[in-house]
Amino acid sequence: MSPPTFDVQKARSHFPSLATGYIFGDNAGGSQCTKDVADRIHDYLCNTNVQLGADYSASQISTKRVMVDGPEHAKILFNADSSDEIVFGSSSTLNIENLARGLEGGIRGGDEFVLTGEHEANGGPWKKLADRRGAITKVWRPTPINPNNPYSVGYRIDDLIPLITAKTRIVAFSATSNILGSVIPVKETIKAIRKAAKEKGAKNVEVSVDCVAYAPHRQMDVQDWDVDFCVFSFYKVYGPHISSLYVRHSSIQNTVSSIVHHFLNVHKTSYKLQPGGPGYEVVYGTTGVVPYLLSLTDSNDLKATFGAIAKHEQQLINPLLEYLTAPKQVEKGVRVVGDENAGPDRVPTISFVVLGRKSKDIVRVFDKKGGIGIRYGHFYAWELIEKLEPKLDTDDGVVRISLVHYNTVKEVERIIEILQEILD
């Protein structure tokens, strides 16, 4: 049974910024925000902008919005078992940093962390934790897919498993690369990690999945995945600038220590990883995301929504990848960074370089044309860019065009038109 479709123009009507005709092509850096989300933030600030936990009526409403409604909606997106497993923080980097702090007491010298060496929000906090506690970090690196293009790389589970040993304590990987655009099969990967850890005698392996570049394109399911920690950013999933972290209840009880005020009795909930209050109005604003996603199809089901999104996104991926990988463009030095093929294991985050030319110069042409926003650089995946061969300038990095479901085929055609002008 094929996934349902959705009306792209109807979806676009939820985003006031799209009415200008501007083409937003840097969505992996931050998507546009729905009007309903903005309206909820406005409503909170105008009507319930008070401190939480008091007995008076306005505070009771505010408390419900922030402490009940916000976590409940994040729980739906994660498909978590309980809203007590949900943490809010200003960014995914901060959430993972706080998680690492909460785990610090249980990390011993010689413990091993296995990381994907790209998105620094996922890797940086674990590397700093390892430095503090004398743990060892290992890196699961992408390997070549197309022998004719050294920049066409992807992740293979077979390269990950040899990194698991009896000393493995943390495995942290990105479900989707914000440079390569490739989707890692999360459930299959975690199953392989658990199996290898058991066979090699690792006693307490916890797995953390960075879904920052995954959540706008695919449905998360932390229960089905059997994952301990998971993080994503609402501001890349059509919401406000805030992040949500899932922490499995067993980890909350057994391995995560509180980093909040010592007198707070939060030992059984993920609130122990939420020092201070997140932006209350922003937490309430996140409750507009799930209703928007459910409105995209008639089924009122997130699985159907993300099926429809993935189907539409292939219409965006196909023409752009076909253009970039055509022999004419290859002769001119164009090299896709990541998987060169469209398909279910790829999202429309497409990076490329042009040999002999600066990525900055290519983006500058788009800037001069006006009306389109794309970007160049390392996109906080500095280590991935730095390890590519032949060497790239990490600051100049790659040209990245990152699209989502509200982008249209006509917008892709306009992007290709400008690329043709640049390359001809």
Which of the 8 DSSP states describes residue 203?
S
Pairing of the two strands 143-144 and 153-154:
antiparallel
**Inter-axis angle of helices 92-103 and 120-133, to 10 degrees?**
20
Helix (H, G, I), strand (E, B) or coil at 101: helix
Degrees (nearest 5) of the Cα angle 379, 380, 383? 110
Which tens digits make up the pLDDT trace of 293-340? 999 999 889 999 999 999 999 999 999 999 999 999 999 999 999 999
CA 240 to CA 34: how far, in whole Å? 9
8 Å CB contact between 114 and 380:
no
Q: Which spans in 140-208 are helix H?
A: 157-160, 186-200
8 Å CB contact between 87 and 236:
no
Degrees (nearest 5) of the Cα angle 29, 384, 196? 110
Q: What pLDDT is stored for residue 6 in this prediction?
A: 87
Tell me which residue of 421, 422, 399, 420 sits closest to 25, measured CA to CA. Answer: 399
The whole-angstrom distance between residue 268's C-alpha and the CA centroid of its chain comes to 27
CA 417 to CA 263: how far, in whole Å? 61
8 Å CB contact between 115 and 140:
yes
CA 224 to CA 239: how far, in whole Å? 25
Helix (H, G, I), strand (E, B) or coil at 253: helix
CA 46 to CA 334: how far, in whole Å? 51
Residue 108 is encoded by which pair of tokens?
């011993």
**Inter-axis angle of helices 409-423 and 302-324, to 10 degrees?**
20
CA 379 to CA 122: how far, in whole Å? 13
CA 85 to CA 184: how far, in whole Å? 24
Q: What pLDDT is stored for residue 209 in this prediction?
A: 98
Q: What pLDDT is stored for residue 71 in this prediction?
A: 97
Helix (H, G, I), strand (E, B) or coil at 18: helix
Helix (H, G, I), strand (E, B) or coil at 327: helix
Which of the 8 DSSP states describes residue 403?
-
CA 94 to CA 242: how far, in whole Å? 10
Which of the 8 DSSP states describes residue 126?
H
Residue 12 is encoded by which pair of tokens?
């676009």
Q: What is the 3-state secondary structure (H, E, C) of 275-315?
A: CCCCCHHHHHHHHHHHHHHHCCCCCCCHHHHHHHHHHHHHH
Domains and CATH numbers, the chain: 8-32+300-423 (3.90.1150.10), 45-292 (3.40.640.10)
**Inter-axis angle of helices 359-369 and 409-423, to 10 degrees?**
120
Which tens digits make up the pLDDT trace of 16-40? 999 999 999 999 999 999 999 999 9
* Positions of the chain with pLDDT lower than 50, given as ranges: none
